Amino acid sequence: MARSSVLGYPRIGEKREWKQALEAYWSGRCDESTYRERMKDIRLARLRKLQASGIDLIPVGDFSEYDHVLDTAAMFGLVPKRFAYEGGEVPASVYFGIARGTKEAAASEMTKWFNTNYHYIVPELDGALPSLTENRPLHAYLEAKEALGIEGKPVLLGPLTFIRLSKGYDPADTDAWLDRLIPLYERVLRELEQAGATWMQIDEPSLVLAGDRQDRDRLHRIYSAFAAAAPHLSIMLQTYFESADDYETIIGLPVKGIGLDFAHGRDGNLAAIRQHGFPSDKVLGAGVVDGRGIWRASLANGCKLLDELKQFVPSDRLIVQSSCSLLHVPVTVRGEDRLPDVLRQALAFADEKLAEISLLTKAAELGTDAIAAQSGESEAALRALNEHAARNRTDVHAAVQTVAFQEGRRHLPFADRQPLQQAKWQLPLLPTTTIGSFPQTVDVRKARQQWRKGEWSKERYDSFIREQIDKWVSLQEEIGLDVLVHGEFERTDMVEFFGEKLAGFAFTLGGWVQSYGSRCVKPPIIFGDVAFEGAMTVEETAYAQSKTSRPVKGMLTGPVTIMNWSFVREDIAREQIAYQLAYALRQEVEALEAAGIGLIQVDEPAVREGLPLKREAQANYLAWAVKAFRLTTCTVRDTTQIHTHMCYCEFHDMLGSIEAMDADVISIETSRSHGELIHHFERQSYPLGIGLGVYDIHSPRVPRTEEMTAMIDRALQTLDPALFWINPDCGLKTRGEEETLAALRNMVDAARAARQTFAPIA
């Protein structure tokens, strides 16, 4: 009979207990023993929930204390030399040091997990010799079995994907690295088989990316070795986020099961099955419930899909599952009673998706009629939302249709705008600035809570915000920054803040998801047509400008980032959602300019993460993403300087698109990747203003002036000093005040030293 499974489940807990345990440990508010016990309680609580849901194959080992890619590196002892690791099981101090940095050593690079908003820690292979320090999947399997009687499905990142996600090695050495890693994986699998495990999920999401002939040979070598090492352990080779790139090769591998994504890779995977069939000796893991989206599944469509799949795979060789790990969605809709009924009834978070998987598994075995009542409910809920007035605003549709036909270009090209801007602003060589936010202290967060609860009047809260602006405008002047910001003390999150002020958005009470480490975000829901309803940032920005003679930047989040960092409606194309946002934000840009703000930053850190994984779809996405940014900014005067910011993605393959955005200045993260982006500028020039982040704001360490100077010196060997800006990697919201001030003082000192060096060149 058909069985059910899920690829992974959220780590954070319904009330973010995981985050609280981590931060208590990091701050010294609990010792390591207490911390370990709390983590165990959280692990077991989530397993109990999966057990109670009736899921047949429960994943174990997908839980992490920071990041599953970091877990894999630590399991194999792949620790950068700078952390003075001496072998054996990686201690917590080293594990978290790699992730967050220490006073002595910089953190490893952090970047996006494929095209999601989850960040992973990039393994560094340079000079490392792997060894098995601990069998993490085995520990997870035994814990679930002994504590709860669960015969779990251990989860492990596969070797080919692990190497592809790593850095510090020559791609020509991929086979040499496989020679080192395969025996370690074999030992993991043998020990699991000996312990009684029957299924093992090995994640190879990189198999949805374009590969080559060598990768085909590598896959056969890897999985033939695994089959020989543990012949009685059934391996589910799991792909997700798109359709498998080389389906014929994958179905020929000596594994028991193949997991395919039928949510985001539906068309490609279905076409491959129709053309090539599915092997009779394998189980199909059918990812029919979207693991990344929050919308209730159309059970009727799910049943139709399963009926088609059963033409190729009988139900006894079918596992109905999520398309990917549920890590990417909130835990549960329960408690979201402040949402409008029509919206709430159309939502499904992790727990609700478990129920959908169980229902579809039942339908796969007994037929569609077995879930007819539940299917009718899901169709009615989705239909009611699609018919709601919020999704059918003719005024928005008409305006956006007009805007979408515009080219979205500034009046003058950059080469002609830049002298006019410099004449107006009279900025020094290598101007300094920050990315936007300053530390949100306990007092700032407490004041916001008191205002939201009605304990403070709006007048009192506004007065408090002005006091914070006064303080930090003065501090910025004292430090010597050239372009100031107001600090964003009134903002919770860079997307949520704008969503609360635009039509078409809704907000959950507990819809948290993990972004990186203990950083959890609560993405807004774009459920209706987006529309501008009044100025959003003008009051605070204009107030800050009134307190200084130096220019103050207006700070906005860009249309594509707001979209990519929200849960979005699925009834219209994402391109149309981006244009709705662009039109609304254009009106805010114009309001800032009318209030006398002549430098406006429209942040787009999430443009890259929305890039489709399939190459053939990338050009179209980049075209409309770039156009959405230009539509937001194109109506300003020539002397108004448009900035943007990007971080924590691989940007080298889209520098042409970044240039096409036509921002006067882009600030871009480089310090976490240890300046590697600079290497690409050595081969490809950038003719607009640019600031490469000179220090990592996600690490608690304060970098020395000399470190920043070295970064600046290297960048200016390639980039034009007359167009170069100096700034941190990202906003400073999560940092403490003392470390922020110390780091910015060092940054300004580095800029002053660089001016002495590069003034003759400029």
The region that residue 461 occupies, defined by phi over 0 for left and psi between -120 and 50 for alpha, beta otherwise, is alpha
Q: Is 112 annotated in some ligand binding site?
A: yes
Return the SS3 of 131. coil
Q: Please indicate whether residue 698 is annotated as part of the active site.
A: yes
307 CB neighbour count, 10 Å cutoff: 13
Neighbours of 296 (CB within 10 A): 20
DSSP-derived letter for residue 5 is: B
Residue 565 assigned as binding residue: yes
* 523 closest CA partner among 606, 613, 450, 461: 606
Measured between alpha carbons, how far is 621 from 615 in angstroms, rounded to an integer? Answer: 10
Give the span between the Cα atoms of 178 and 69, in whole angstroms: 17
What is the DSSP annotation of 411-449?
SS-HHHHHHHHHHHH-PPSS-B---SB----HHHHHHHH
d(C-alpha 486, C-alpha 554), whole Å: 8
Q: Is 689 annotated as a binding residue?
A: no
Q: Establish whether 647 is an annotated binding residue.
A: yes
Consult the annotation and say whether 308 binds a ligand.
Answer: no
Q: Is residue 436 a known part of a binding site?
A: yes
Q: Is 634 annotated as a binding residue?
A: no
Q: Is 424 annotated as a binding residue?
A: no
Q: Is 16 annotated as a binding residue?
A: yes
Is 488 a known ligand-binding residue? yes
Give yes or no for a contact between 602 and 642, defined as CB atoms under 8 angstroms apart. yes
Chain-centre distance of CA 506, in angstroms? Answer: 20
Decide: helix, strand or coil at residue 284: strand
Q: How far apart are the first and last CA of the chain?
A: 73
Closest-CA residue to 431 (of 481, 486, 477, 485): 481
Q: Is 730 annotated as a binding residue?
A: yes
Is 217 annotated to bind ligand? no
Q: Is 645 annotated as a binding residue?
A: yes
Is 393 annotated for ligand binding?
no
- Say if residue 303 carries a ligand binding annotation: no
Tokens of 491: 């903002």
Q: How far is the C-alpha of 106 from the C-alpha of 97, rounded, in Å?
A: 8
For residue 576, CA distances in Å to 84, 279, 391, 588, 654 come to 51, 40, 12, 19, 22
Which of 119, 264, 486, 698 does the annotation list as catalytic? 698
Contact criterion met (CB below 8 Å) for 482 and 491: no
609 annotated as a binding-site residue: yes
The verdict on whether residue 143 carries a ligand-binding annotation is no
**108 labeled binding residue:** no
- CA–CA distance, 559 with 541 (Å, rounded to integer): 20
Indicate the angle between helix axes 68-75 and 92-100, nearest 10 degrees: 130
For residue 39 the two structure tokens come to: 């983590």
Residues making up the chain, counted from first to last: 762
Q: What is the DSSP letter of 652?
A: G
Q: Which residues contact 380 (CB under 8 A, 6 or more apart)?
A: none
**Quick check: 696 and 738 in contact, CB under 8 A?**
no
Put the strands of the sheet holding 665-668 in their side by side order.
553-557, 599-603, 641-646, 665-668, 689-692, 724-725
Report the binding-site residues: 16-19, 112, 435-437, 488, 519-520, 565, 603, 609, 645, 647, 669, 730
Q: Mind telling me the catalytic residues?
A: 698
Question: Which amino acids are annotated as binding site for Zn(2+), given as ranges?
Answer: 645, 647, 669, 730
Binding positions for L-homocysteine are: 435-437, 488, 603
Binding site feature residues for L-methionine: 435-437, 488, 603
Residues belonging to the binding site for 5-methyltetrahydropteroyltri-L-glutamate are 16-19, 112, 519-520, 565, 609
